[in-house]
């Protein structure tokens, strides 16, 4: 009821930018056009120049001079989008934060709907779920789909295709994300880890307006590996299954050799005995590797110092 007399809520738009000189003006124009129609809010644009080599920084300086709602942080070199998003969230002051790509692949027209979801409908987060991959190459689409399949199985976290960084979050969720202090950051996993009530709005994938995607197949692959390694220790324990297979193989082989020799009334050959012993030893080694992996994985996760729980609400 006191809603009307209360202060306007502030939205911080966080924009990681790496060599985006061609798109920034259009991004600014389109995004502020939508934000200006939302009379119930104030806003700030928090650009993060991720060590761009082009005129990105000059453009950001210009924008912040013309418009006091524009701010920027400029990195000393390229640290990657993850670092950009972290810095942007950390410096932002809004009641709600929304992360957007600079290339207009995240339609600003979704912002009013997102705001309604987090402000009125009781959600902590409202994300844009991208449908289709029109702007992406075939190879990249296949690769991405395969990765999301594997990573879902390995990490037991909901990191499905299409659920990206384009999302508006309330302060509580932003603080929870900032409290995840791990160095190897993988935001898709972090969103899933911190939880909170999230609403999804579908939008059609479009090609980036100008410039080129900053991702090569190589960087996508290492990003994918990062995601799996940061949230799963299953690979460390793969030796376990191999060890069990080898030990069982050794025992089975010995039994079969003994039975055959028994039927034929012959002595077991030295080769058969040697082979089972070798298989057995290899299997035992694998099992010990598994044990080392198991301890290592505990230590690895411990080192991340992730919160034991995250509070959504209290009185
Ligand atoms: N980006 C960044 N640092 C990087 C790579 C990308 O800040 O090292 C930014 C980029 O400027 C853009 C967003 O992250 O605003 C998404 O990048 P891009 O459009 O290249 O990725 P794609 O849409 O192809 O996934
Ligand atoms: Mg893009």
Residue in 16, 24, 107 to alter for ligand 1 test, most ligand atoms within 8 A of Cβ:
16
Confidence of residue 1 (pLDDT cuts 50, 70, 90): very low
Percent of the chain with pLDDT over 90: 58
| Residue minimizing CA distance to atom 21 of ligand 1 | 213
Cα 13 to chain centroid, rounded: 19
- Stretch (H or E) spanning 121: none
Residue 235 DSSP one-character state: G
pLDDT digits (tens, 9 = 90+) for 233-273: 888 888 999 999 999 999 998 888 888 888 888 887 888 88
> Which comes out higher in pLDDT, residue 315 or 176?
176
Contact 287, 239 (CB under 8 A): yes
Q: Which ligand is nearest to the CA of 100?
A: 1
The Cα 70–Cα 243 span in angstroms is: 58
pLDDT beyond 80 at 143? no
Q: What's the pLDDT at 160?
A: 66
Cα 52 to middle of ligand 1, angstroms? 11
Confidence of residue 63 (pLDDT cuts 50, 70, 90): very high
- Exposure string of 193-202, with b = 16+ CB inside 10 Å and e = fewer, is bbebebbebe
pLDDT beyond 50 at 187? yes
Residue in 31, 87, 207, 214 to alter for ligand 1 test, most ligand atoms within 8 A of Cβ:
214
> Structure pTM?
0.82
Cα 84 to middle of ligand 1, angstroms? 10
CA distance readout (Å), 83 to 56, 88, 140, 299, 308: 17, 9, 23, 24, 23
94 DSSP β-pair partners: none
Tokens matching residue 198: 């999230």
pLDDT beyond 50 at 159? yes
pLDDT beyond 80 at 87? yes
What are the φ/ψ torsions at residue 71 (nearest 5 degrees)? -130, 160
Can you tell me which atom of ligand 1 is nearest the CA of 212? 20
pLDDT beyond 50 at 42? yes
The chain-wide mean pLDDT, for the chain, equals 89
The Cα 200–Cα 272 span in angstroms is: 61
Taking each helix axis as running N to C, give the angle between helix 171-178 and helix 81-91, from 0 to 180 degrees, rounded to the nearest 10: 130
| Residue minimizing CA distance to atom 23 of ligand 1 | 213
CB-defined site of ligand 1, < 6 Å:
16-18, 20, 50, 78, 80-81, 84, 101-103, 105, 208, 213-215
The Cα 124–Cα 126 span in angstroms is: 7
């Amino acid at each position: 009821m006191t809603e009307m007399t209360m202060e306007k809520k502030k939205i911080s738009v966080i924009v990681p930018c790496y060599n985006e000189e061609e798109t920034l003006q259009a991004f600014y124009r389109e995004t502020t056009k939508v934000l200006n129609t939302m009379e119930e809010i104030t806003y700030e644009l928090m650009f993060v120049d991720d060590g761009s080599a082009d005129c990105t920084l000059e453009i950001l300086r210009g924008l912040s001079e013309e418009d006091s709602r524009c701010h920027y942080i400029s990195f000393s070199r390229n640290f990657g989008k993850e670092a950009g998003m972290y810095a942007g969230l950390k410096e932002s002051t809004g009641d709600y934060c929304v992360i957007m790509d600079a290339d207009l692949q995240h339609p600003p027209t979704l912002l009013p709907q997102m705001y309604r979801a987090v402000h009125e409908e009781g959600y902590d987060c409202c994300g844009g779920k991208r449908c289709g991959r029109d702007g992406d190459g075939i190879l990249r689409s296949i690769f991405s789909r395969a990765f999301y399949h594997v990573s879902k199985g390995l990490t037991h976290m909901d990191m499905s295709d299409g659920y990206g960084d384009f999302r508006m979050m309330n302060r509580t969720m932003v603080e929870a994300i900032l409290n995840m202090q791990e160095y190897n950051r993988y935001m898709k996993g972090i969103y899933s880890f911190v939880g909170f009530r999230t609403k999804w709005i579908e939008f059609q994938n479009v090609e980036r307006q100008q410039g080129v995607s900053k991702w090569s197949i190589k960087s996508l692959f290492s990003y994918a590996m990062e995601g799996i390694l940061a949230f799963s220790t299953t690979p460390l324990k793969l030796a376990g299954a191999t060890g069990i297979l080898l030990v069982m193989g050794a025992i089975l082989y010995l039994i079969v050799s003994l039975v055959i020799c028994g039927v034929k009334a012959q002595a077991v050959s030295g080769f058969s005995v040697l082979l089972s012993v070798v298989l057995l030893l290899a299997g035992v080694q694998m099992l010990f590797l598994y044990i080392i992996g198991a301890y290592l994985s505990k230590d690895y996760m411990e080192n991340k110092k992730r919160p034991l729980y995250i509070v959504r609400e209290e009185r």
